[in-house]
Structure formats: C-alpha cells, structure tokens
Structure 1
Amino acid sequence: MIPVMGVDGATVAVLGLGRSGRTAARALAAGGASVVAWDDGPAGRAAAEDEDIALRDLSRPGALDDVAALIVSPGIPHLYPRPHPVIAAAWEAGVPVDNDIGLFFRSLGQSDWDSHDVAPKVVAVTGSNGKSTTAALIHHVLREGGRESQLAGNIGRGVLDIDPPGDGGVVVLELSSYQTELARSLTPDVAVFTNLSPDHLDRHGGMGGYFAAKRRLFAEGGPDRCIVGVDELEGRFLANQLAESRADDRVIRISADRKLAEGWSVTARKGYLSELRKGRQVGSIDLREIKGLPGAHNHQNACAAYAVARTLGLGPRQIEAAFASYPGLPHRSQLIAERGGVRFVNDSKATNVDSAAKALAAFGRIRWICGGLQKEGGLGGLLDAAGGVVKAYVIGREAEAFAMSLTGIDAEVCTTMADAVARSAAEAEPGDVVLLAPAAASFDQYDNFEQRGEDFAARVAALA
C-alpha cells in the first residue's frame, strides 16, 4: 500500500465506496488521517462497514465542517451533467476535492525515494480506445524484459493498493478521463495518449471537455517523455503543443495509418512496425503473425507500448520477443475458440462505435454479434467499417431498433446472447469469424461488459 502523505491528524472524507474508494480510505488511514466515508448505495456502505471504515452521511448539513479534503470515486459526476450534491457542498464550504489518482502522485516516493540507485518510473496511459491493452502490453513487455513492473489504475490494482516500487521499478497506470479530470496532482515520468473518439460526452460537457480531461495528463505535471497517437486531429494538436521543435525527441509520435518523418516516431503500416529517428529506421517488427495483437487498432497499441519500452531502455529484439508471447486481454479481440475453421472472438469491451469499427476492421468474413444500450451519435461512423460483415445478429432490449439502424447490413434480431451465438454458429462457414463487438453499453442485460463477454464465452463453450 502507498500511505497518503500530508494528512496526518486531519479528517478526510471519502465519497463512493467501490474498490478505489475503500482503498483510498485505507491508504488515508495508513497516512494518519481520520477517515469518514459515505456511499449513496447500501451495498457500498455495507462493504465499508465490513472493513471498519467509519460512515458519515456527507449530505447532512454540517457534515463537512471538520473535513480537510473530500476524496471522490471516479464514477461520481463532479461537474457535468451536474455535480453530486456533496461535491457542490464541498465547493461552497471551501473543502478541496481530489481523487485517489491525485493522492497517489502526491504520495509516491515521498518517504524512501532517495534510497534507490535507480529511481522508479511511472508510466500513465490514457485515450479513448486501446488504453487497457496498451497498459497491459507495456507491463507484459517490461516483465518479459526482466524489469519490475506493477499494473494499476483503471486496470489491475487500485493505485494506492500497489506495493512501493523497488529499485528501478515501473508502475504502469491506465487512467480514464474520469480519473485525469479531477486529480490535483498528475506527474508521470512517461505519458501516453492513444487516440480520441466520442465517449462519455455527457460527463464532460462535449468533446472539448472530454479532450481537456485527457490533456491534463500532459499539461499538469510535464512528463519527461510524451508518446502521442496522431491519427486524429486532437493527437496532432497535442503533439504540436508539447514539442519545442521538429527534432524534439521528448515527444514520440505514433500512428497506424500514416507515414511520419519528423523527430522520433513509431508507425505500423500494413502490419509492419517501424521506429524512425531523424528520418532513419532504427528498429522494426512484423506484427502480422502476433495472435495477441490482431488488427490495425492493436498495431497502434503495439506502437505505443514499443515507444514506452524503448524510452525505458529495452531493445527492439527484446520487445519483439515479448510481443510474441503476449496473450491478449479478456474481452478485447480475444480469440476464445476455433471450431471447424470458424474463429470465435470476444471483444465485449467494444462499447462504442469507434472501438467496434476497429474490431470489425481486424477480420475478414464476420458474423457480427452486436447491440445493447446505444450511445449518443448513432451508428453512422460504424457502417463504413462493416464491409467484412456477412450478417449481424443483434442482441439487447432494443434489438429491433438497433437492427433497423444497420443500413445495408443483413441483420437478424436475436435479442439474447444464447440465440445470437446459436444462430451465428449454425450459419458460419470455414474461414468466418463470429465476432462479439457490441458497439453499445451492456447495462440493459448485464452488470458490465465483462459479464457480457463471459456469457458469450460460455455460450460458445456449450456449442455441440
């Protein structure tokens, strides 16, 4: 655990008692704080009581009178579409509001950093799509290269729940816009921006607010090295803002769809990764046969992970060997079975149009299982990527409306996962891919995208 610094003797309130909230409460207590906590749901309060975390209804008048800071879990809105009443009360009372990410960065290394021969590093990854795979791939490459690495944040363990890193150790964080937007301290050594596409727009008041939340990771703490995906306008803007000159190698540009000439860059075109410095190729990897990284979207993730590994001193051949052994993440273009020449791929994490489009672009003849709670913006941007779809099998509470929006695609309303798997498997031919890439949230039928993916895998396993 990372004890929180600067809170000894203070009363600190925690709002939201999921995993990150309870971990923050323990880390605050380890730092000497008197912790009071609240969750709007009875399940969260019960979990806190099981861990002897003191409860206080923070919505009551005067509940914040003795509180030095309010720590908020990432799922709780603090600005758009409207602030939670407790957060609004904290503003009125002048109580600073922060989250566990801010506590982590202000506390890491305060006590024993000088004892290391090689200072530990923090790598932070953000973006709309691919950040989980990128963070996990960085972690895998470092471990395979003999480096100490811990994976935390929006994936793996809570940031305050990790062990203090050892000599030369690396902490790899996946950070969502919810986490970067509120954190008062953001000081990674290496920061990664994968890409940007519309998501969580109600939470951030539109695309401008969403991008601003991501950009804070680079603007607030001044990382030593910035790795920026430049396949969208926002990435090109960010890279230009960060670089002092065309040759500034503190900024590494990455791309999966364009040739880059300036400075230090890593690109993946037609399945080949190339590292260029000052216009000269200094490293390359053939990504086409790496099963854990299918498709151009995963090749962009590979570019980001490669750039981080090079920044941290690993050689191209070390990275290539680690890529080859990467198993992939559950629910992200995960090959779960192959039967009679038909592959079954679970990309339940494709909860928005952009991520689903990238999954569709990774394969040839596709039997596409899709549907769920549709997000803002419709499916227009997805249809251009659906050229490989032989047929769609639509699930979800609003399957019929979802199917009608798939203009030009043969779509069958199945409603349930069981029917969709059975129908797609019965109609699939050798060489086809049965792909779960919903392009929608899961909450109409499942608690989360993981549960949806597990249901898909179970239905595939049960096929005769």
Structure 2
Amino acid sequence: MIPVQGVENQTIAVLGLGRSGKATAAALAAGGANVIAWDDGQDTREQAEADGLTIVDLTRDDAWQGVTALIASPGIPHLYPKPHPVIAKAYELSIPVDNDIGLFFRSYATTDWDGFDRVPRVIAVTGSNGKSTTTALIHHILKECGRPTQMGGNIGTGVLSLEPAIDGEFVVLELSSYQTDLARALTPDIAVFTNLTPDHMDRHAGLGGYFAAKRRLFAEGGPDRAVVGVDENEGLYLADQLSMGPADDRVIRISSGKKLDRAAWSVFARKGFLAEYRKGRQAGSIDLRQITGLPGAHNHQNACAAYAACRAVGIAPREIEAAFASFSGLPHRSQTIAEIDGVRYVNDSKATNVDSAAKALQAFDKIHWIAGGLGKEGGITALTPYLERVTKAYLIGHSARDFALEVGQTPHEVVDTMEAAVARAHAQAKPGDTVLLAPAAASFDQYPNFEKRGEHFTALVEALKP
C-alpha cells in the first residue's frame, strides 16, 4: 500500500466503494486521515461498514462538516452527462474533488528516495485501443531485463495498492480517460499515447472532450519523454504541441504503417518489421512476424509503443527483442492458446464489438472463425471486407442466426454452443489454419462476462491436446 501524504488529521470523503474506493480509503487512513465513505448501493455500504469503514450519507448537507476533500471512483461521472449529486454538492461547497490517480502521483515519492542510488520512475500509458497490451508489454520487458517493476492502474493492481517504491523501480500504469480526466496531479516520467478512436462519448460530451481527457496526461505534468502514436490527427497535434522542433527528441513518434524518418526520434512498423530511427538514421529493427504474442497490425503498434518507452529508459534493442519473443499476450486479447497438429488456436474473447473483431480478423489468414453471442446494434456487416480471410465461420449464441444472414457467401454453420464450435473447427481446420474466437458480440446471453467465455474456449482447446 502507498499511504497518502499530506492528509494527516484531515476528514476526507470517499465516493464509490468498489475495488479502487476501498483501496483509496485504506491508503488515506494509512496516511492519518479520518475517512468517511458513501456508495449508492446499499449492499456495498453494508459490506464496507462491516469491514470497518465509517459510512456517512454524503447526499445530506450536514455530512460535509469539516470535510477537506472528496475522492471519487473513476466510474462516477463528475461533469458529463451530469455530475453525480455528491460531486455536485462538493463543487457547490468549494471542496476539492480528486481521484486515486491524483493521490498516487502526489504520494509516490517519499523521503526514503534520498537514500536510493537510482530514482524510481513512472511510465503511464493511455489511448483508446491497445493500452492494456502496451502496459503489460512494457512491464514484461522491464521484468525480463532484470529491472524491478510493478504494474497497475486500470489493469491489475489499483495504484494505491501498489507497494512503496524500491531503488530503481519502474511503475507501469494503464490510465483510462476516466482516470486522467479528474486527477489533480499527473506527473509521469514517461507518458504514452497509443491512438484515439471514438469511445465514452456521453461521459466526455464528444470526441473533443474525450481527447482532452487523454491529453491531460501530457499537459498537466510535463513528462520527461512522450511516446505518441501519430496515425490519427489527434496524435499528430499532440506530438506537435509537445515538441520544440524537428530536433527535439523528447517526443518519440510511433506508427503502424507509416514510415517516420524525419523526426528526431521515431519508431514504426511496416509489413511486419519494426524500425527505430534517430536523427534520420536507423538505430534498431525487429522482425515482428514470428512473435506469436503480438499478431496483427494493431499489436505491432503496441509493440512500437512499448519499444519506444523502454528505449527511453535505456533498454537496448536486443534486450527488447528477446523480451518480445517471450511475451504471451494478455488473456482474451489475441492470445495464442495452443498449436495442435499445425493449427493455431487464438482466444480473442475481448473482441466484443465489430472494431475489435476486425483487428483480430486482419491479424490472421485461413481463419476458422467462432463468432456470435449477444449482438450489438448494426450487426456485423462492417466486417465484410475482412471475411475473405475466413475459411469458415461457426456461429454461436443469441445472434447466431442474425450473423448467418450477414456473412454473405462466407461458408458458415450455426452451431449455437462453444462446445460445438470448437469441435467442428477442430475437425475441419488444416495445418497452417487458425481457429479464432473473436465473437464481435457481448457474452451475456451464455456467459457472465467475456473472461468466462474465453476461459471456456481455452478449456475446450486444452482438452484437444494429445
């Protein structure tokens, strides 16, 4: 746990008592604060009270006597579509509102660091797509290269549940727009922006608000180095805003598909090869095509971002390449489960919408595609350009018959269940083929979440092994 600094003997209110809220309350208490808490859910409140938290109804005016700050959980709206009533009350009373990310950045450095040989550093990753894989990949590279490291934020451990820093440690954080938008302190040493596509439009009142939330990670704290994906206009703008000119190597531009050789420092991937350029000359290259944990152009962009971040902290290209080779990918995200009789089995259960399924389909050839579940508005007609890669589709779940009408001339079967889909794909796939679970649909018709769906697929594949 990282005790929060500067809160001793203060009364701090915590709104939202999920994982991050409970961890925040504990870290505040460890820092000497008097913590009061509230959650809209009665069951959650009762459990928190049983765990020893002081529950106070923050919707009441008299609850705010002596409160010096409100710490809100990330999922609670603070501006759009409208502020949560408790946050609105804090605004009315001029009480500062923050979140656990802000508390982390103001509390991570301590006087213990005076005795360290190497100052700990924070690498923070944001963006629309790929930030979880990029975060995990950076953490993996650092660990494989013998650097002490922890990973947290929007992936794995909550930031205030991380351990206090040790000499020379790197903390790698995935930060969502919900987290960066409200944090009052954002001071990473290295900040990474992967890309931007429309998401969370209601929460941020449109694409501009969404980008502004991401941009805060770079604008508020002024990282020593910024890694910026420039495949969209927003990334080009951000890189330009942060750079003092073509010779400024504090910004490392990255791309999947574009050659970048004019900037002071860039990393890009084309046709399966990663290249690093510094001052117009190639400084490193990696063949990504045979790295099973990073399939497809979207993962090649993640590889560029992770490579750039690790180069920025002094990791050598050959060390990064060796770590790439041992990266197995995140569960349920283009995760290779097994190769059986020359057939590759890939779990991308996280592909719950058309955009993510399209990326998965572009990553492989000769695909036996398992798709379906609880379909979303618009169906899967947008996947038509990628169906030429599909040898056969096996359709499951609630929307199987709707999907069958939308795959056109692509060979397909309506098999309804995961068991039947895996069995049929296994029987028909040939050496060199890929059996890919990329549902393009939610899981809630047959599974409680996409993780359970992916775990079921994985178990069925494991059972096929000789």
TM range (shorter): over 0.9
DSSP 3-state at the match of 1:384: helix
Q: Which residue of 2 aligns with 1:28?
A: 28
Q: Which residue of 1 aligns with 2:87?
A: 87
Amino acid at match of 2:229: G
Contact 2:379–2:403, Cα closer than 8 Å, also in 1: no
Contact 2:227–2:254, Cα closer than 8 Å, also in 1: yes
Contact 1:230–1:254, Cα closer than 8 Å, also in 2: yes
Q: CA deviation at 1:250?
A: 0.6
Contact 1:9–1:32, Cα closer than 8 Å, also in 2: yes
Change in Cα spacing, 1:206 to 1:380, as seen in structure 2 (3 Å) is farther
Amino acid at match of 2:3: P
Q: Which residue of 1 aligns with 2:300?
A: 299
Q: CA deviation at 1:93?
A: 2.5
Amino acid at match of 2:249: D
Q: CA deviation at 1:74?
A: 1.5
Amino acid at match of 2:291: I
1:170 aligns with 2:170: yes
Change in Cα spacing, 1:150 to 1:439, as seen in structure 2 (3 Å) is same
Change in Cα spacing, 1:381 to 1:263, as seen in structure 2 (3 Å) is farther
Q: CA deviation at 1:87?
A: 1.9
Amino acid at match of 1:293: L
Q: Which residue of 2 aligns with 1:364?
A: 365
Please say which of residues 283-292 and 76-85 is displaced more in the overlay. 76-85
Amino acid at match of 1:450: E
DSSP 3-state at the match of 2:227: strand
Structure 1: how far apart are the matches of 2:63 and 2:327? 49
Amino acid at match of 1:436: L
Q: Which residue of 1 aligns with 2:271?
A: 270
Change in Cα spacing, 1:138 to 1:414, as seen in structure 2 (3 Å) is same
Q: CA deviation at 1:307?
A: 0.8
Q: Which residue of 2 aligns with 1:332?
A: 333
Give CA-to-partner distance per residue, 1:204-244, whole Å, 9 cap, x none. 22222222211111111111100011122221221122111
Q: Which residue of 2 aligns with 1:187?
A: 187
Q: 1:339-378 residue pairs with structure 2 within 5 A?
A: 339-373=340-374
Amino acid at match of 1:22: K
1:13 aligns with 2:28: no
Q: 1:141-180 residue pairs with structure 2 within 5 A?
A: 141-180=141-180
Structure 1: how far apart are the matches of 2:430 and 2:280? 46
Structure 2: how far apart are the matches of 1:439 and 1:274? 32
Amino acid at match of 2:438: A
Structure 1: how far apart are the matches of 2:438 and 2:13? 40
Structure 1: how far apart are the matches of 2:442 and 2:2? 33
Change in Cα spacing, 1:343 to 1:104, as seen in structure 2 (3 Å) is same
Q: CA deviation at 1:161?
A: 0.9
Change in Cα spacing, 1:184 to 1:392, as seen in structure 2 (3 Å) is farther
Q: Which residue of 1 aligns with 2:287?
A: 286
Give CA-to-partner distance per residue, 1:110-167, whole Å, 9 cap, x none. 4333332221110000111111111111111111112111111111211011111112
Q: 1:217-232 residue pairs with structure 2 within 5 A?
A: 217-232=217-232
Please say which of residues 371-380 and 179-188 is displaced more in the overlay. 371-380
5+ residue gaps, structure 1, are none
Amino acid at match of 1:204: H
Q: CA deviation at 1:378?
A: 6.1
Change in Cα spacing, 1:428 to 1:188, as seen in structure 2 (3 Å) is same
Q: CA deviation at 1:386?
A: 3.5
Change in Cα spacing, 1:421 to 1:131, as seen in structure 2 (3 Å) is same
Q: Which residue of 2 aligns with 1:73?
A: 73
Structure 1: how far apart are the matches of 2:417 and 2:84? 35
Please say which of residues 378-387 and 72-81 is displaced more in the overlay. 378-387
Structure 1: how far apart are the matches of 2:387 and 2:78? 37
Give CA-to-partner distance per residue, 1:172-205, whole Å, 9 cap, x none. 0011111111111111010001112222223222
Please say which of residues 13-22 and 196-205 is displaced more in the overlay. 196-205
1:387 aligns with 2:388: yes
Q: Which residue of 2 aligns with 1:241?
A: 241
DSSP 3-state at the match of 1:283: strand
Q: CA deviation at 1:48?
A: 2.2
Q: Which residue of 2 aligns with 1:101?
A: 101
Give CA-to-partner distance per residue, 1:359-403, whole Å, 9 cap, x none. 111100112223445567765654333431233334444444455
Structure 1: how far apart are the matches of 2:397 and 2:59? 36
Contact 1:197–1:354, Cα closer than 8 Å, also in 2: no
Please say which of residues 98-107 and 446-455 is displaced more in the overlay. 446-455
5+ residue gaps, structure 2, are none
So what's the TM-score if we normalise by structure 2? 0.92
Amino acid at match of 1:461: E
1:200 aligns with 2:222: no
Q: Which residue of 2 aligns with 1:442?
A: 443
Amino acid at match of 1:292: G
Structure 1: how far apart are the matches of 2:409 and 2:63? 57
DSSP 3-state at the match of 1:337: strand
Amino acid at match of 1:226: A
Change in Cα spacing, 1:290 to 1:47, as seen in structure 2 (3 Å) is farther
Amino acid at match of 2:8: D
1:320 aligns with 2:321: yes
Q: CA deviation at 1:415?
A: 4.7
Give CA-to-partner distance per residue, 1:235-267, whole Å, 9 cap, x none. 122112211101210100111101012220011
Please say which of residues 418-427 and 302-311 is displaced more in the overlay. 418-427
Structure 2: how far apart are the matches of 1:321 and 1:116? 29
Q: How many residues are treated as equivalent by the alignment?
A: 464
Q: Which residue of 2 aligns with 1:122?
A: 122
Amino acid at match of 2:453: R
Amino acid at match of 1:335: T
Change in Cα spacing, 1:369 to 1:74, as seen in structure 2 (3 Å) is farther
Q: CA deviation at 1:348?
A: 1.7
Q: CA deviation at 1:109?
A: 0.4
Amino acid at match of 2:429: A
Amino acid at match of 1:320: E
Give CA-to-partner distance per residue, 1:303-353, whole Å, 9 cap, x none. 111111111111111111111222222111111133333322111222343
Change in Cα spacing, 1:196 to 1:353, as seen in structure 2 (3 Å) is farther
DSSP 3-state at the match of 2:267: strand
Amino acid at match of 1:324: A
Change in Cα spacing, 1:194 to 1:44, as seen in structure 2 (3 Å) is same
